[in-house]
Amino acid sequence: MAKTRIGIYGYGNLGRGVELACRQNEDLELAALFTRRDPASVQPLTAGVPVYAADDLAAHTGDVDVLVLCGGSARDLPEQTPACASLFNVVDSFDTHANIPAHFADVDVEAKAGGKVALISGGWDPGMFSLARLYATSILPEGHDYTFWGRGVSQGHSDAIRRIEGVADARQYTVPVPAALEAVRAGENPELTTRQKHTRECFVVAEEGADTAAIERAIVEMPNYFADYDTTVTFVPQEELDRDHAGIPHGGSVIRSGVTGQDGEHGHVVEYSLKLDSNPEFTGSVLAACARAVHRLSAEGQTGCKTLFDVPPAYLSPLSAEELRASML
Ligand code: NDP
């Protein structure tokens, strides 16, 4: 098969992650970038890649085999993925879990109308974590599921702190409680409350003269975001935040603890764990593998919306089926 020509729509952290992933895969070639901003203001990391205005997407359907949508899940993807799915084979990382069925339905109609394949909710959660849960629960029907996130930066929680009056900047880390993680790994099947599973660490830059006690109270009492967690707030100067908290690490563990035997006497613990230095670069790498699979599904004549559940694992790999069989031995 010739190289898969990749288009990237939306050039933020994730867009750059997909671009870097293309460099690591010889069968993928970055063909074009699309942005809603002035294309002249966007400088790709890769020299020579053309940058086009998103308004001109329809003029470039012949340049791209798979368009990877890298916009935000909250506002961009619910519009962009259905709008592009009748024109291009597409991949997105839509991560608003509760809205995945509705997003799937919107995209499916458009992809089928255009005779294209669309894979939604690639990434790691949803994405690789979803697959890990599916494999483990299919194999161990009697058991418990646990998902721990972190240590990692939560963009949504960091944004929520930045919206508090008197806050200039902030970074929030989600951290699993070690004792809870150990108990689950030991197969103890504990019942865990939200507070017992994760803590939240906040590094905050206060504006000059701001009431730091009021900011701290506003954070730890914030419903949904912090009130149900043990939260620590540390005020730091902007230079320290820029120096020590500039990265976007994340990760976590999906654990299934199950039993087999006549009376459930044998315990089994299955764990899939990620420790990511860069959330967007890892997510971009998953989307690149998904793009390869989408190109293959499309070449077979399939159409419509898919998730990672619908992709044969071998289609994610650059290796052929024969090469993969040989490597299992
Ligand atoms: P960013 O905020 O970096 O980028 C989102 C969009 O903002 C870009 O596509 C870009 O679109 C636009 N943008 C506007 N101005 C700028 C600017 N000055 N610099 C960069 N971008 C700009 O978000 P991320 O890339 O970090 O994340 C995108 C989404 O990925 C998240 O909303 C999240 O839902 C999803 N995600 C999913 C994961 C999963 O496991 N499923 C994991 C991680 C993230 P344009 O070029 O058109 O202006």
What is the pLDDT, as a whole number, of residue 2? 87
128-277 topology per CATH? Dihydrodipicolinate Reductase; domain 2 (3.30.360)
Q: Is the dihedral of CA 87, 89, 93, 97 positive or negative?
A: positive
Residue located nearest, by CA, to atom 20 of ligand 1 = 12
CA distance 202 to 307: 34
DSSP state of 127: B
Say if ligand 1 is within 6 A of residue 125 CB. Answer: yes
Q: Which CATH superfamily is domain 4-125+280-328 in?
A: NAD(P)-binding Rossmann-like Domain (3.40.50.720)
DSSP state of 53: E
ipTM: 0.97
What is the pLDDT, as a whole number, of residue 136? 98
CA distance 16 to 70: 9
Say if ligand 1 is within 6 A of residue 72 CB. Answer: yes
- Whole-model pTM: value is 0.95
What is the pLDDT, as a whole number, of residue 1? 63
Tens-binned pLDDT, residue by residue, of the chain (329 aa): 689 999 999 999 999 999 999 999 999 999 999 999 999 999 999 999 999 999 999 999 999 999 999 999 989 999 999 999 999 999 999 999 999 999 999 999 999 999 999 999 999 999 999 999 999 999 999 999 999 999 999 988 999 999 999 999 999 999 999 999 999 999 999 999 999 999 999 999 999 999 999 999 999 999 999 999 999 999 999 999 999 999 999 999 999 999 999 999 999 999 999 999 999 999 999 999 999 999 999 999 999 999 999 999 999 999 999 999 998 76
**38 in a known ligand binding site:** no
Say if ligand 1 is within 6 A of residue 199 CB. Answer: no
What is the H or E stretch that residue 314 is in? none
CA distance 258 to 265: 10
Q: How would you classify the pairing of strands 152-153 and 143-149? A: unpaired
Domain extent listing, the chain: 4-125+280-328, 128-277
What is the pLDDT, as a whole number, of residue 328? 79
